[in-house]
Amino acid sequence: MKRGFLNAAPKSSKKDSYAEDVIASADAKISNGSHEVGESLLNSHGKEEESLDCATSPSLPPLTPPQAPSAQTRPIVPEPVEAQREAVPPHDAGPSSQEQPKEEVNEGRGESEASQTPPPPIAPTAEVVGDPGAQSVRVKCDCGDNPEGTSYVFLVESDDQNQHLSKSSLPSNGACEACIDGLLPGRHYKLCVAISSPSFPSSPEDVVGTAFQGPKTSFVAGPAPPETPAAPTVGGKSKTSVKLRWSPPAHSCGSAVTSYTCEVFRNPLDGGVPVATYDGPDARFEAKGLRAGTPYMARVAATNALGTSPYSEWVMVSTSATVPGIPEEPLCAQIGLGWIGVAWGPPSEDGGSSITAYTLEVEEGPEGSGYIAKYSGPNTVFVLQGAAPTVPYRFRVKASSAVGGSQFSSPLEVVGACGPTGPPGICVVERQYSHALTVAWTPPEVLNGAPPLMYQVGMRPLVEGVATNFVVVHTGDACRCDVGGLQPACLYEFVVVAVSAHGPSPPSSPSVLETACAPPDGPDPPFLVSGGPNFLHIGWRPPAITNGSPPVCFRLEAVGGDYEPVVVFEGPSFEAPLQNLQPGKALWLRVSAANALGYGPPSPTVCFTTGLLPPGPPSGVCADKITKTSARLQWEASQHDGGGVVTGYRVQCARLAGSGEEAGAPWSLMVEGVETRVCTVEKLMAGTQYTARVQAINTEGVGLPSPSVTFSTEAGPPGAPDAPTLVGDPAGCELSLCWAAPERCNGADVSEYCLQVQDLSQGGGFSALYTGCLTSFDVSSLRPGTPYAFRVRAANSAGSGPFSPSLNVTTTAVAPGPPLAVTPIAVTHNTLKLKWSPPAFTGGSAPHAYSVMVSDEGGTEAKEAWSGPTTSCKIKVFPDTVAHVSVVAFNAIGPGTSSSICSVTIPPAPVKQAPVMQPPKTLAAPNVSVKGPHSAVVSWGMGGKNKGCEYELELSVGGAEQDFASCYSGSQCIHSLQNLQPNETYSVRVAALNDAGRGHWSAVADFFTKGIHEIVDDRETSSLFVKRLDPESYVCQASPGKNQNKPPGAPERLELEKAGKSLLKFRYASCPLSGLCSWHMCQVPVFELCCDLPASCVFAFI
């Protein structure tokens, strides 16, 4: 961690500057010991700058004085504090004791002031001012008679040396005082003062020992609230409680922890209060009364006599889930004839586990008839089909989750709905009008238990055979009604519905009825066929509704204000021309149609306006306030506006032909839509003659242009020339450039050019390369293989113009320079590892490969030992020689200059010593496979590195405690044991042998040979061969009897009739023989039985 440095006081004299250099050198040396003492002592005005750096890095050294250097080449080392106090007179000594050293100094100063060595400074004792705080302490010390310019630094170190603090200070009135921050509450610290004398040479090697430390003073930082404890952990949980525990904080900060505060929240982010709180000395807490299957968050804080620590991090825990709560009573969503729809909602408590299914049960008829499950699934609605009218039904529901099912809800009772009546009779017309009809119908024949209470008549029009939705036009208890608001000569479709106490009946059969004829409806508004400033050609269409009679005549009327309508046209045509009208005038028109029954209502009124003419040309155009790129134009309004309001003006300019041009530029639009009669034309070319004109605009279009006015702009800087061009090919570090004059000089001739260059490889800006009137320049002193950019600009009496586009040129590359710092990294008797740095001069092309050349000490010609793209390699060398190594770099041009030769001495090859033979390693216990009552096969491993060894196998009869005897010796790892005794215990072990001797014996392996048993039948003697199997199975197999010539058939249906701890009873069936036979065998383990057995046998193994 970076720490501060001690800087000297402000430079007021040469002596002070010398002292400052010495102190800075001494502090830099202290910093090299991984402990930089402090921040700067003074700022530029000489005021004290206090700085604090608190670090707990273990690399900082303890606060002890430095070791004494040598007498001549090292700085003077201070004596211990006690000796310093004896050598230097105290501050309260008499005048005689203080004046004597001054006289001696004055006398010696005349002889040789430069060679006199001042006495070393004395490190004072640091003191704590007042009581230490929890994080800071005030310290001071007495400067004594130390020379002016001595640097003082207070050093604080914790007892465990994990924290080091420092603070620099300046003496004031013979004392130093500072405040050190960054203490840890309740920690033990040691305090001392480190000083550095200004009287020693300023060389860094000579001021190593010029920093001294005074005696150490111990103090304890003040107490504070404890540190933040770790997050609590979960010790257990149930459906309604959670057990929490926690550890004390890492440090109590000087005051023992007296209590803990633990809070449990449902969701701390919503700002709610905790659901459970604990405040006490124990480090555990059980939060009760929680909701099942709910996540909670907990935290803990520690408290001592000074206060409470911050809360720990959150820990999340969820209570165990339970079955859901009881759902509420279902609701009757809908009911109809033959069906009932019910719905229900989830329970208020899901028990901490999501609801997976609902079960709905229905009871039909009287109570106690019994509920039957009708639905089970995730939906919350159900429709019961086949419900009988007036029959009560009761519904109840329960919710289920992964934990289990809830109790059933309270039942909902619903009575089956009765049916409506049948459809009434068809509607017929009693009276016919053009806008109304009187219809009648007969009552329904089927009542379904309830008479109709009222009737509803539905009607819809039939337009070109397309039917729309029915609309109820009548509701009442009579069997007739009047329907008004109809259209003449139109078809309407009617239906009737009878409504009883049980609902509406099906509609009656539809009937189509027609109204009487009437005058036509009003046509659509008239429209403009064509028009002009003095005429209008109006057209219209016949009415869409003729009310049963086609129109034969039309009347066009002009209306407006308080005047009566004026007929301007009447006849059978669909168009009417209106002549001799005023331009730009409005005319309000409407049209009406007539059929055999008379004129109908008129159409909506429409306003028509005669056409406009473009406005006339403006007058009095003039130009003023002319600059290099703009001019102001003014003009007078047109004498006539063409019948409309002038909405704006269009300003056009054209560049006249200049010197050397045959024609100027055509007219171009400069400004469009100018509302006022003043306009400033921008973006003109400097030093150019222009002509301008103005046109007025109204809604009809653009009028004729005004007379033009001619003006000239002021001269300006020239335009940008084209990019410079390269003359010939670049030759090494030189090239030639040329450029042409700009196309436009903007009213003044070019007086000079400025050529600039930019080194693209350095990333800097452009710099001036040439300024003059020439249009070519030879560039030299360029770097090879480097990209450059060139640009040029022209200047005239009005100023400098813009730069031209850049010309990018790359100079030709050359071979690279020699690689640098060829250094051996690792040297063995047959290999040499080298590294080097890329050449400082790349020749304009980066090196892509290196070649390592090696020659021996005999001076032979160097040979290539390695080549590649990296800056390190490993090559083979000969032992006990001197290798002369050089490196050559390659770039796109070719090989460069060889580096300086690096000579490396190769050590001789080491002498190999013959390995010492060791006995073989201990083998693992052998594996034994028992083949029968008299034989077994023993095998073992080779023992890892025991290759080429022989093996010795020993056998013991009766167990491992008996004496072993050798039974095999050879190089094989397997051996077969023969002539063993049945029902006997054996032990084997094996060892490996080589020229160094025999290794340790392996672990002993025990095995048992198989036995033969005789079993006696109740009726006759039979031989039973017993084969040992695994301890949990019995296998029985029948063999041919003594008096049989062929084997019996395979037994079938082998059944275990009884199984006890020491008894198994089996039964055979479907065997060719018959009879029953029993055997009894004592203390026989699990075997495979082979004997002469009759069919249908019962075996008892005891």
How far apart CA 786 and CA 812 sit, in angstroms, is: 8
Q: Let me know: does 253 contact 225? Beta carbons within 8 Å.
A: yes
User: With bands split at pLDDT 50, 70 and 90, how would you rate the model's confidence at 914?
Assistant: low
Q: Where are the alpha helices (H) located in 51-138, listed in sequence order?
A: 81-87, 95-112
958 has pLDDT over 80: no
The 10 Å CB-count burial string (b at 16+, else e) for 650-680 is bbbbbbeeeeeeeeeeeeeebbeebeebebe
CB-based contact 707:666 (threshold 8 Å): no
pLDDT for residue 1039: 41
216-236 b/e (C-beta count within 10 Å ≥ 16 → b): bbebbbbbbbbbbbebbeeee
Q: What is the mean pLDDT of residues 373-397?
A: 89
d(CA 356, CA 956): 70
d(CA 655, CA 629): 13
More confident residue, 1063 or 627: 627
Tell me: pLDDT of 861 over 70.
Answer: yes
% of the chain beyond a pLDDT of 70: 77
Residue 568 has pLDDT above 50, yes or no: yes
Question: Burial of 362 by CB count in 10 Å (0-12 exposed, 13-18 middle, 19+ buried)?
Answer: buried
Which residues are CB-contacts of 916 (< 8 A; sequence separation ≥ 6)?
A: none
Which of 651-665, 753-767, 965-979 shows the lowest mean pLDDT across its residues?
A: 651-665
- Dihedral sign, CA of 808, 811, 813, 817? negative
Residue 23: the pLDDT is: 40
Long-range contacts of 466-474 (CB under 8 A, 24+ apart): 467/493, 470/495
Q: Are 1071 and 1095 in contact (CB under 8 A)?
A: yes
Per-residue pLDDT of 63-79, as tens digits, reads 333 343 333 333 333 33
The first and second tokens of residue 422, run together, are: 């049948």
Query: pLDDT band at residue 739, thresholds of 50, 70 and 90?
Result: very high
Q: What is the pLDDT of residue 103?
A: 40
B/e letters for 787-809, b = 16+ CB within 10 Å, e = fewer, are ebbbbbbbbbebeebebbebbeb
Predicted pLDDT at 1029: 37
pLDDT band with cut points at 50, 70 and 90 for residue 887: very high
Q: How many angstroms separate the CA atoms of 943 and 918, rounded?
A: 14
How far from the centroid of its chain's Cα atoms is residue 43's Cα?
Answer: 46
pLDDT at 1052: 56
| pLDDT on residue 803 | 93
Question: Mean pLDDT for the chain?
Answer: 78
Question: Could you tell me if 1045 and 1065 are in contact, meaning their C-beta atoms sit under 8 angstroms apart?
Answer: no
Whether 287 shows a pLDDT value over 60: the answer reads yes
pLDDT at 236 over 70: yes
Amino acid at 189: Y
Q: Which two tokens stand for residue 582?
A: 């005023």
Lowest mean pLDDT among 364-378, 566-580, 659-673, 818-832: 659-673
Lowest mean pLDDT: which of 3-17, 551-565, 648-662, 830-844?
3-17
pLDDT at 399 over 70: yes
Query: pLDDT tens digit string along 1017-1068?
Result: 333 333 333 333 333 333 444 444 444 444 455 555 566 666 654 455 656 5
Higher pLDDT, 375 or 148: 375
pLDDT at 593: 93
Could you please report the per-residue DSSP string of 847-877?
--EEEEEEE-TT-PPPEEEEEESSSEEEEE-
Q: What is the pLDDT of residues 459-502, one digit of tens each?
A: 999 887 677 889 999 999 999 999 998 888 888 999 999 998 88
Distance between CA atoms of 459 and 493, rounded to whole angstroms? 6
User: Is residue 672 predicted with pLDDT exceeding 90?
Assistant: no
Q: By mean pLDDT, which of 124-128, 589-593, 665-669, 755-759 is the weakest? A: 665-669
Asked if residues 863 and 855 have their Cβ atoms less than 8 Å apart, the reply is yes
* pLDDT tens track for 695-732: 998 888 888 899 999 988 888 888 899 999 988 877 66
Q: ∠ CA(471), CA(476), CA(479), 5° rounding?
A: 95
Tokens of 782: 């360029």
Task: Report if pTM > 0.75.
Answer: no
pLDDT value of residue 862: 84
| Predicted confidence band of residue 1094 (pLDDT cuts 50, 70, 90) | very low
Q: Please give the average per-residue pLDDT across 678-690, as a whole number.
A: 87
CA separation for the pair 683, 674 (Å, rounded): 17
Dihedral sign computed on CA atoms, order 734, 740, 746, 749: positive
Has residue 361 got a pLDDT over 60?
Answer: yes
Does 458 have pLDDT greater than 90? yes
Average pLDDT value for residue range 972-994: 90
Write down the pLDDT at residue 668: 78
The mean pLDDT value for 426-438 works out to 91
The winner for highest mean pLDDT among 35-39, 83-87, 189-193, 318-322 is: 189-193
Phi, psi values for residue 46, rounded to 5°: 85, 5
pLDDT the model gives residue 25: 44
Other CB atoms within 10 A of residue 843 CB: 22
**What distance in Å separates the CA atoms of residue 754 and residue 324, rounded to the nearest whole number?**
90
Q: How far apart are CA 1013 and CA 1028, in angstroms?
A: 11
Based on the number of CB atoms within 10 Å of its own CB, is 648 exposed (0-12), middle (13-18) or buried (19 or more)? middle
Q: What is the pLDDT of residue 438?
A: 93
According to the model, what pLDDT value does residue 664 have? 64
Biggest CA pair distance of the chain = 155
Share of the chain above pLDDT 90, in %: 28
The CB-side HSE value for 116 (13 A sphere, CA atoms) comes to: 12
Q: What is the pLDDT of residue 1093?
A: 43
- pLDDT, tens digit, 9 for 90 and up, residues 185-231: 888 889 898 887 665 444 434 333 445 788 888 888 889 899 899 99
Q: Are 425 and 441 in contact (CB under 8 A)?
A: yes
Statement: residue 440 has pLDDT above 90: yes
Mean pLDDT of 1081-1087: 36
